[in-house]
Amino acid sequence: ENQTEVITGDDGHFEIHNIPTGSDYTLVPEKDGNILNGVTTMDIILITKHILGVQPFESPYKYIASDVNGSQSITTSDLIKLRKLVLHIDEELPQGVNSWRFIDAGFVFPQAENPWATEIPGLLNLNNLATDEMQADFVGIKIGDVNNSATPNSLIGVEDRMAYAEF
């Protein structure tokens, strides 16, 4: 199994050259770091309103962004962790939780109010690649950023937003 790491441009586009056709590949987008990018007290307020039923989320992406502790649910534990991050009491997300989550852009959530009801495709498998060109599109979700105010290429730069191809 070979692995190639490719860094995207500022716009998120990437190219992998000289990939042999007829083989199987897995494309895995990944970005981590800068956990407070886009995270503010407004996100804490929105999560609180959701938990209290005052203003429930209308998008599965907001559920995923709110799952700060990686429990596949939205609870006060997520709020506590987010507050600790905003107040710099904690400096990192729990083990196994990256600051960004990527989902195949074509995926339709069967249950928008419970995005974890089915497996969420965070990678793309390409079996028996027929052509040396292919399209892949992912939605990036910044953990903790419910109002979508994060800047994908801020501060840590594009060198930390990667796509992996395994073959």
Residue 53 carries which DSSP code? Answer: T
Interstrand relation of 124-126 and 3-7 (parallel, antiparallel or unpaired): unpaired
Asked if residues 144 and 62 have their Cβ atoms less than 8 Å apart, the reply is no
Asked if residues 51 and 160 have their Cβ atoms less than 8 Å apart, the reply is no
Cα separation, 72 vs 150, in Å, equals 21
Identity of residue 154: S
Asked if residues 36 and 86 have their Cβ atoms less than 8 Å apart, the reply is yes
Per-residue model confidence as pLDDT tens for the chain (167 residues) = 677 777 777 777 777 777 788 888 888 888 898 999 999 999 999 999 999 999 999 999 999 999 999 999 999 999 999 999 999 999 999 998 999 999 998 999 999 999 999 999 998 888 888 877 667 788 999 999 999 999 877 544 333 344 444 43
Cα separation, 84 vs 63, in Å, equals 19
3-class secondary structure, 26: strand
Cα separation, 154 vs 156, in Å, equals 6
Chain-centroid distance, C-alpha 87? 23
Residue 97 carries which DSSP code? Answer: -
Residue 115 carries which DSSP code? Answer: G
